[in-house]
Amino acid sequence: MKKYILYLFVVLFSISSFAKESLPATYTLLTADYDLVGNGKFDNFDIRDGKYESDPLVILKKLNDILESHFTYENSDVIEVTFATYNGTADTDTWDLYVEDLKFRTTEYVLIDTPPGYADLGTASTIDICTWNIEHFPKDSQSEDKVADIILGSKIDVFALQEIKDDAGEFKSLLEKLGSEYEGYIYNPVVNDDSKWDQNIGFIYKKDEISVVTEAREIEEFKGDKSAFPRTPIETVLRHKSGVEFVIINIHLKCCSGSSEEARRQSASEQLKEYIDDNYKSSNTSVVLLGDMNDRIDSKETNNVFSNFIDDANYVFTDTKVSEESTEGSGWANIDHILINKPLFEANDKDADKLDATDFDFDYDKYVSDHFPVWVNLNPELLSNEVNYIYKSKLNVYPNPSSDNLINIELPDNIRKGTVAIIDISGKEIFSEELNNERVDISKLSKGNYIITLKSNDKLFTGKFVKN
């Protein structure tokens, strides 16, 4: 695909030589050229009395079609393109071409053969994770092809997707376009009578890079709170080919501005942190929380609803840098985020990144989404050899609350060996012991709330109980 680097200025330096003689130093668009790209009209050029084309990439694509219909050229060849007013019948005087709020009478193009910007997403050796709101997928008849091209053109291992329409076959069709190297699923976390619900969450992953340890599930604790979680978060446990296992939680929080909407997102943030702390912190389990969080994390945000995560040294937003840089221009606020917890800090040796319109040679907003992919590359070689236990399920305890000296635990998955630990609400381990039977002595515990964990091999089961 030939792309053009566009220099927006009127004064041009002279061009001395070209790799191919068939490419002239200058070229003025002809009537036939307008017919080629605009059906004899001003379509997609809109150069009339202050009107302008809002997307420079549309113009670049049209010019690409024109030049390739006339000339052959090599990488880095340069041509000066001059535009002339087309009145529907003939060329007339030179006019100003408007691109957004800039105008220029002539323009220089450097013809280069480059891959699309998304070819740099991911590497062969890292754990590459991307969050991507694909806006009411498919929003256009070309959406499936465009999304498939982006996925196939990248090296991302896991895509966490939001805003997938109720599956009428389009998501299945997308997976078919991706081929046998990919798997994925759409998960509808909302009970909704509207069959056209388009807020579903899904995952797509590369089979040779990622395997599923635990299938995706709704997080039960959040299902009843439609204020904080209008779309119930889902989580799954994945294993990278390097052997690193991690919990990944995909969320899509409430949109829009206003104090009431911010309060809903803040409530969600508080509940998510409590959930991760309770279930994963004591076991040192690796967790990735990501998705369309619909709010900012940059320092210009005066009321940061995610301050509970930001102020806790056990968590970091990997996209902090890109969020600080995305504060001006079209689509300025970055509201799609990737958060990791402390067990993954060592692997996070590179800031997350975000694509923008210049990375695509088509009208991205029209065909794909009003959100751009945000991704992070985690380096598994930098992680220590410390065992990270993977959370499997809740550990049921009874009686609960308990005023007795003993509590009973329901042993899951036919487990008969392991280590039982009691942890207080501050995260301090009170005691641990080898599993002897289904009873645990709590006679020495003070009244209060506790967490109980059962570790067996690389599995972790956790629950809560109250001693009265």
Q: What is the pLDDT of residues 312-349, one digit of tens each?
A: 989 999 999 888 887 544 445 689 999 999 999 999 98
pTM of the model: 0.65
Q: Which of 386, 381, 359 is nearest to 372 (CA)?
A: 359
| Measured distance CA(80)–CA(199) in Å, rounded | 47
Q: 58-67, 149-158, 289-298, 380-389: which range is least confident on average?
A: 58-67
Mean pLDDT of the chain: 77
pLDDT the model gives residue 182: 95
β-partners of residue 451 are 423, 464
Q: Which of 238, 180, 241 is nearest to 212 (CA)?
A: 238
Structure-token pair, residue 347: 């692997």
Beta strand segments in 219-314, E: 234-240, 245-252, 287-292
Q: Give 138-175 as a DSSP string.
A: SSSTTHHHHHHHHHHHS--SEEEEEEEPP-SSHHHHHH
Alpha carbon distances (Å) from 330 to 100, 146, 357, 371, 405: 11, 21, 10, 11, 62
pLDDT above 60 for 435: yes
Q: What percent of the chain has pLDDT over 70?
A: 70
**For the residues 184-209, what does the mean pLDDT come to?**
74
Question: pLDDT class for 356, splitting at 50, 70, 90?
Answer: confident
The C-alpha angle with vertex 202 and arms to 199 and 203, in degrees rounded to 5, equals 155
Question: pLDDT class for 108, splitting at 50, 70, 90?
Answer: very low
Higher pLDDT: 251 or 47? It is: 251
The amino acid at 467? K
Q: Which of 440, 390, 395 is nearest to 415 (CA)?
A: 395
β-partners of residue 210 are 240
Structure-token pair, residue 88: 């529907």
DSSP H/E element including 182: strand 182-187
pLDDT the model gives residue 425: 67
Beta strand segments in 65-113, E: 77-82, 84-86, 91-94, 97-99, 102-104, 106-113
For residues 183 and 236, is the Cβ–Cβ distance under 8 A? no
For the chain, give every domain's residue range: 2-113, 117-382, 390-467
Q: 83-97, 146-160, 263-277, 402-416: which range is least confident on average?
A: 83-97
CATH class of domain segment(s) 117-382? alpha beta
Alpha carbon distances (Å) from 218 to 145, 186, 190, 208: 29, 12, 10, 26
pLDDT the model gives residue 199: 83
Higher pLDDT: 46 or 32? It is: 32
**For the residues 184-213, what does the mean pLDDT come to?**
76
Q: How far apart are the first and last CA of the chain?
A: 70
Q: Residue 165 CA to chain centroid, in angstroms?
A: 17
For residues 368 and 159, is the Cβ–Cβ distance under 8 A? no
Q: 68-77, 97-106, 157-166: which range is least confident on average?
A: 97-106
Query: Is the alpha carbon torsion for 95, 99, 104, 105 positive or negative?
Result: negative
Residue with tokens 């997976």: 175
| Measured distance CA(82)–CA(104) in Å, rounded | 10
The amino acid at 458? D
**For the residues 421-441, what does the mean pLDDT come to?**
82
| Measured distance CA(344)–CA(310) in Å, rounded | 16
Q: 77-91, 130-144, 145-159, 180-194: which range is least confident on average?
A: 77-91
Half-sphere exposure of 119 (CA within 13 A, CB side): 5
Q: What is the pLDDT of residues 250-278, one digit of tens each?
A: 999 999 989 999 999 999 999 999 999 98
The fold of 390-467 is: Immunoglobulin-like (2.60.40)
| Measured distance CA(146)–CA(143) in Å, rounded | 5
For residues 334 and 352, is the Cβ–Cβ distance under 8 A? no
pLDDT above 90 for 132: yes
Q: Which of 207, 211, 189 is nearest to 199 (CA)?
A: 189
pLDDT above 90 for 77: no
Question: pLDDT class for 116, splitting at 50, 70, 90?
Answer: low
Structure-token pair, residue 110: 């450097």
Question: pLDDT class for 35, splitting at 50, 70, 90?
Answer: low
Higher pLDDT: 364 or 73? It is: 364
Structure-token pair, residue 219: 């997080």
| Measured distance CA(278)–CA(181) in Å, rounded | 36
For residues 52 and 98, is the Cβ–Cβ distance under 8 A? yes
| Other residues' Cβ atoms within 10 Å of the Cβ of residue 84 | 17
Structure-token pair, residue 316: 């970091």
Half-sphere exposure of 220 (CA within 13 A, CB side): 3
